[in-house]
Every structure is written in C-alpha cells, then in structure tokens.
C-alpha cells in the first residue's frame, strides 16, 4: 500500500466502523435475510489506467462476475462481503494480443437498507476493496518471470446502489451499480490508477 493510499483506506474503514456501530433504531424490526448474490455484467473504465505508453493505457470495458454474501443487519443496515473479477480489454498499440487486464479481488462493507421488507428492497452500499491485476502486457525477466504480469495487492474503496426483487421465499433477482477506485503497483514501478463503474445483474438465493 502506498503512502497516498493509506489515509484514504483509514478514513474509509473508520466510516464503515461508525456506520456499523450506530444503533438501528426503530426503522424496521425485521432483519434483512441472508442472501447470496451471483451477478454478471460489464465493467467500464472512466479513463485509462495509466498515461502515455505505460501499461494500462488504452484499457476498455469488459465482462465482470461477482459473488456477494449479504449478512443479516439490525434495522436499516446489513454487512456484505464478496469476490469479483473484471476482465478489462486493451486497444492501445502496445497491448498484448490477448488485450486483457484481469482484476480479481475481494470487497467488504456496509449496506444501508431504507426498506427491508416487501417484494422490492433497495439499498446503498459503501465498502473497501482489494485488487490484484494480471496482464500479459509486461515482459518477463529471468529473475521474475512467474510474477512479471501480476501486480501488487492494491487497496481502495467502492460505492454503489442496487435493488433486490423477491421472486419467492428463497430466490430473487438483483441488480447492482458500482463505482470503484483502487490503485495497484506493477512490476517495474508503474502504477495502475483504476477508476471504473460496473453494472451487474443476476439471481439471489435467500436463506
């Protein structure tokens, strides 16, 4: 983690702790169900991940897959933890023939659930993310061939909105919109400054 990332992560974790510790009050006595969401969609960069000829320049949108567990909350909040992979394309002149930046990581945070009963449940989400990126756009050296195309573990944050529509007692449909910002360092010293949005939809299992 770089010195520039550390204050952002500390502030985000502090915010999550404050939200998680606030009493749920009397907004709603019913707890949100335990939910497993399986979603797919598209991730769209809001700009290049790097400038000039550095790796990450020319990145484009690609498919995304996410698995998220939502844990029961007290009143208007719920905790979530999940896994996601985004496969960004690359169309710059120096990109590898495969043209992929595969970002894989985990996320954890808090959902604000203003209405947690009935067939339609909207929510707002704030969390922290970790990301590691794999790409073939880096030349391997004899001393680091196994890791030449793998970034350091990067840390960042995310914010999003979504909705769960109950289709029965144990199944539902869900949609999520996310904004994510995260930086991660590549071998050789360059940095990927990743800013992207993801639109995902899929099914939800309610326990």
Question: Does a structural domain hold residue 136?
Answer: yes
Per-residue pLDDT at 45: 96
Q: The CATH number of the domain where 149 resides is what?
A: 2.40.160.20
Question: Does a structural domain hold residue 25?
Answer: no
Question: Does a structural domain hold residue 60?
Answer: yes
Residue 32 near residue 116 (C-beta atoms within 8 A): yes
Overall average pLDDT of the 14-25 stretch: 43
- The Cα 198–Cα 62 span in angstroms is 10
Question: Does a structural domain hold residue 92?
Answer: yes
Give me the sign of the Cα torsion angle 36, 155, 149, 177. positive
| Segment among 32-36, 173-177, 179-183, 190-194 with least mean pLDDT | 32-36
User: What are the tokens at 177?
Assistant: 């919109």
Range of the domain at 133: 5-20+33-206
Question: Does a structural domain hold residue 147?
Answer: yes
Domain total for the chain?
Answer: 1
User: Which letter, b or e, does each residue of 101-128 get, where b requires 16 or more Cβ atoms within 10 Å of its Cβ?
Assistant: bbbebebbbbbebeebeeeebebebbbb
Question: Does a structural domain hold residue 26?
Answer: no
Question: Does a structural domain hold residue 88?
Answer: yes
Per-residue pLDDT at 187: 81
Question: Does a structural domain hold residue 83?
Answer: yes
Q: State how far the alpha carbon of 68 is from the alpha carbons of 18, 65, 160, 177, 183, in Å.
A: 22, 10, 13, 14, 22
Per-residue pLDDT at 200: 98
Per-residue pLDDT at 1: 52
CA dihedral 113, 118, 119, 125 (to 10 degrees): 0
> Which pLDDT band, with edges at 50, 70 and 90, does 22 fall under?
very low
């Amino acid at each position: 983690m770089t010195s520039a990332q550390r204050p952002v992560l500390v502030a985000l974790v502090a915010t999550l702790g404050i939200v998680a510790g606030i009493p749920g009050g009397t907004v709603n006595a019913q707890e949100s169900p335990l939910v497993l969401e399986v979603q797919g969609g598209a991730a769209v960069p809001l700009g290049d991940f790097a400038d000039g000829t550095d790796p990450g320049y020319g990145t484009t949108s690609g498919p995304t897959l996410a698995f998220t567990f939502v844990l029961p909350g007290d009143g208007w909040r719920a905790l979530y933890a999940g896994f996601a992979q985004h496969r960004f394309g690359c169309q710059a002149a120096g990109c590898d023939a495969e043209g992929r930046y595969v970002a894989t990581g985990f996320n954890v945070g808090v959902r604000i659930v203003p209405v947690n009963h009935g067939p339609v449940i909207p929510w707002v989400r704030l969390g922290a993310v970790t990301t590691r990126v794999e790409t073939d756009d880096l030349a391997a050296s004899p001393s680091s061939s196994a890791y030449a195309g793998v970034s350091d573990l990067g840390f960042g944050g995310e914010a999003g909105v979504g909705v769960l529509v109950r289709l029965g007692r144990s199944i539902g449909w869900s949609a999520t919109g996310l904004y994510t910002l995260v930086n991660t360092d590549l071998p050789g010293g360059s940095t990927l400054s990743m800013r992207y949005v993801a639109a995902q939809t899929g099914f939800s299992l309610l326990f």
